[in-house]
Structure 1
Amino acid sequence: MDLQLAGKTALVTGGTKGIGRAIVEGLVAEGAKVAFCARTDADVKAAEETLREAGHDVAGTAVDVADGSAVRAWVEASAERFGGIDIVVANVSALAIGPGEANWRASFEVDLMHTVHMVEAALPHLERSDAASIIAVSSVSGREIDFADGSYGVMKAALVHYVSGLAYDLAPKGIRANAVSPGNVYFEGGVWHNVEQNNRELFDHALGLNPTDRMGTPEETAYAVVMLASPRASRISGTNLVVDGALTRGVQL
């Protein structure tokens, strides 16, 4: 099925590794142009080179998304580079799990406010698009209480609320907004790979909760994002798409 993304321009934060990298690869595979950012310049350059060598139209930039001014500048530069913006994917998380004011501040500034800054900067460009879509990557930790309650879970829940409000407010302008909430996602160098190496008890406990007997892959979450970004999903807005292999058992009514 043609997802009608060819020629569209997407912005993706945290686009060099894990879910973010898989989202970038999923979008460019459908013919989209992608501006992505991440914090580490070397990782950005390596990802950009690999993607360009594969024939994709991408632009990578090193950005600290906790800096609102830097996020806004990146959005504007990307819009100028590609001639507009059609899709915004806010993917970066501080992954600040545990007690303490520092974790609360990091979760607020990175998980929530980077999304707000990105969306607000992109809105004038999205309003000119005929297929505008906003997607925030949340987490099942925002849907139920688990080991990541506290700052991480609270801000992930706030993202879903924020996106739901955007969907309602922006519907008259033809701009859709959705959240994607993955469960445990495993990839080399990722959070669960690190937990596996350093806290085997927690890893085994988390793995045991998965009824599929495995954790998810970045590509499985990326598929949900790319599908929601597609103009074919024109009637889907204001939803929180859970991608967890039936890990969570709450009923969404």
Structure 2
Amino acid sequence: MDLKLKGKAILITGASKGIGLALAKYLAAEGANISVCARNAEEVAAAVEAVKAFGVKAYGAAVDVKDAASLTAWVDNSAKVLGGVDGFVSNVSAGGSAADEAGWAANFETDVLSAWSTVQAVQPHLEKSTSPSIVNISSTAALEAFAGAVPFSTFKAAMLNYFGNLSNVLAPQGIRVNSVCPGPVFIKDGAWDQIKTNMPEVYESTVAAIPMGRMATAEEVCVHVALLLSPISSFTTGTNIVVDGGFTKRIQY
């Protein structure tokens, strides 16, 4: 299926590794031009080169997403290099921060405020696109009790509410807004790979709770993000797609 993403300009936060990097490559393989940001300059440079290998335009910058000015500069420079903005993927997260005051602050500033700041910066560019779309990368941890009363789950749930309401606010401008909630995703050297090594009992018990008997691959998440970014999903907005192999037990109405 042709997703009609060739030539589209898509920005992804936190895309130097993990799902973000996998998504950058996946979209580049579809012909999209990609801009990435992350904190580590060397990793950003490597991600840009990996994207360019697909024969598309690529741009990247080392950005602390807690710095709104740096985020805005990255967005504006991305638009200049790529010739506009058609899609934005809010992917960056502080991850499983400690459940102390510092951890709550880190997740709030990284997961919540940075997403809001980037939306403010990218909206004027998206309004010029013929097929603008925003996709929020959330987590099944936002949907059910998981790992205790921790900031990651709390703010992921909050952002589902934010982006869900944003879909109604931006619909008159033709900007679609959706979310994707991955369950556990196994990526080499990623969080679950580290858990498998250091806390094998946690890893095994988590896999045992997934009816399909394994964790997702990054590509199995990417395909849904790509579809939501695609112009062929032109009437889909305000939705949340759960990609978890049956890990969450609620009935999806």
Shorter-chain TM-score tier: over 0.9
Q: In structure 1, what is the equivalent of residue 73 of structure 2?
A: 73
Report if aligned partners of 1:97, 1:148 keep a CA contact under 8 Å in 2.
Answer: no
Deviations 1:128-148 (A, max 9, x none): 111000011000000111115
Equivalences, count: 253
1:26-45 aligned at under 5 Å gives the runs 26-45=26-45
2:56 alignment partner in structure 1? 56
The question of whether the paired residues in 1 share the 8 Å contact of 2:185 and 2:215 is answered with yes
Deviates further, 182-191 or 142-151: 142-151
Residue of structure 2 equivalent to 1:24: 24
Task: State the Cα distance separating 1:55 from its structure 2 match.
Answer: 1.9
Gaps of 5+ in 2: none
Q: Where does the alignment leave 5 or more consecutive residues of structure 1 unmatched?
A: none
The residue number in structure 1 matching 2:92 is: 92
Q: Which amino acid aligns with 1:100?
A: D
Q: Deviations over 1:30-51 (max 9, x none)?
A: 1111111111111111222233
Q: Distance in 2 between matches of 1:186 and 1:210?
A: 13
SS of equivalent to 2:50: helix
1:215 corresponds to 2:215: yes
Task: Report what 2:135 is aligned to.
Answer: 135
User: Aligned residue for 2:120?
Assistant: 120
Letter in 2 for 1:94: A
Moved more, 70-79 or 92-101: 92-101
Moved over 6 A (4+): none
Aligned partners of 2:142 and 2:157 also within 8 Å = yes
Aligned to 1:230: 230
For 1:177 and 1:50, the matched residues in 2 are separated by 27
Contact 2:34 2:51 (8 Å CA) reproduced: no
The RMSD of aligned alpha carbons is 1.2
- Equivalent AA in structure 1 for residue 119 of structure 2: V
Amino acid at match of 1:109: E
**Counterpart secondary structure, 1:35:** strand
CA contact (8 A) 2:178 2:240 kept: yes
